[in-house]
Amino acid sequence: MTTEPEVLARIESGIGRITLNRPKALHALNRGMCEAIIEALVAWRDDDAVKSILIDHAGERGFCAGGDIRMIAESGAGDASEAKAFFAVEYRLNHLLFEYPKAVTAIVDGIVMGGGVGISEPADVRIATERTTYAMPETGIGLFPDVGGGWFLPRLPGETGTWLALTGARLKAADTVFLGIHTHYLPTDALDAFRAILAADPAFPIDVADGLEDDAGEPPVEAHLADINRLFAFDTVEEIFAALEAEGTEWASAQLATLKTKSPQSLKVSLRQLRIGRGLETFADNMAMEYALGGHVVRTHDFQEGVRAVIVDKDNAPKWSAATPAEVSDAEVEAFFAPLPADEAWTPLD
């Protein structure tokens, strides 16, 4: 019995093609997959035969549903060394893609969450389809929107990134293209044409996508932009809760109800992460912050409990360490952001 590799990396018609190939896990990333992608990207970086990079997935079930959360939780229950080793490699991959000298295209055809966002958001061309579902749902498992979320989310229009990070809202292509999360919309039946035309002109994927792009439809989020920008503009979770409660509309009440199901600790950590990330000068600075933060958070009760409730037992009834945001002190939050000693800090690839 032969087992196919979890990442298929090859050169086709001048394109360095990386295909995620772990369909039973919705192509969730593990350390070996990240290392394989890094190896290919490094090999192709100075290869004149490779004009651009294409990242896609095998089969029809999702682009990438995230990272290997069970492993991270099991490691966090101990010394977290395996989790930190995974984060170090994954974040180096995110940074490598962000700084890559050749055009990168990601075809986000299906579910894209967590780690999948991390390998698609740095791409120059990000193609959504009618099957795309985007979310950063980490506050629901006691985590925070990592893999660059501290950089990308605060740079979305207004406070939409704050809303997405805290609520874990799921968006379809009309919204993701409208907000700039994805650059183009192509129906799935146009993807073969995209690949064929790209093979003939591999150096300019944005021109190919521009020539084929379709209308994703009216974005539902547009009707709520003013409310999002006003109600999620505060620097404390308590103020956001109070503003939503005072607003009293059906939409605001629905957002508040959603927030009340999330880890209060995670909400506060995530909001602080985004506010810090908004002011950072480089993507590498953001990844160093998130690496230090991740090493602390994966060892918390809330992350362990969130994974138990959502992924292991699937009872969706987590017992968070704090019942309300007010019970999580500013000192507790700041402690998560303590910098690491220089010899333990995250660094990019050479």
Any idea which residues carry the catalytic annotation?
67, 115, 138, 146
Query: From CA 55, how far away is CA 20, in angstroms rounded?
Result: 8
Query: From CA 76, how far away is CA 182, in angstroms rounded?
Result: 32
Counting other chains too, the contacts that 5-13 makes at CB distance below 8 Å and 24 or more residues apart are 5/36, 6/30, 6/32, 6/33, 6/36, 7/33, 7/36, 7/37, 7/40, 8/58, 9/36, 9/37, 9/39, 9/40, 11/44, 11/47, 11/49, 11/50, 12/199, 13/199, 13/200, 13/202
- The letter for the amino acid at 86 is F
3-class SS of residue 111? strand
Residue positions counted in the chain: 350
- The letter for the amino acid at 131 is R
3-class SS of residue 343? coil
Burial 225-250 (b: 16+ CB within 10 A, else e): bebbeebbebeebeebbebbeebeee
Say which residue the tokens 């004009």 belong to. 51
148: phi then psi, degrees, rounded to nearest 5: 100, 0
List the structure tokens of 232: 């999620």
E strand map for the chain? 7-12, 15-20, 52-57, 103-108, 111-113, 125-128, 133-135, 184-185
Span between the terminal Cα atoms of the chain, in Å: 38
Query: From CA 146, how far away is CA 136, in angstroms rounded?
Result: 9
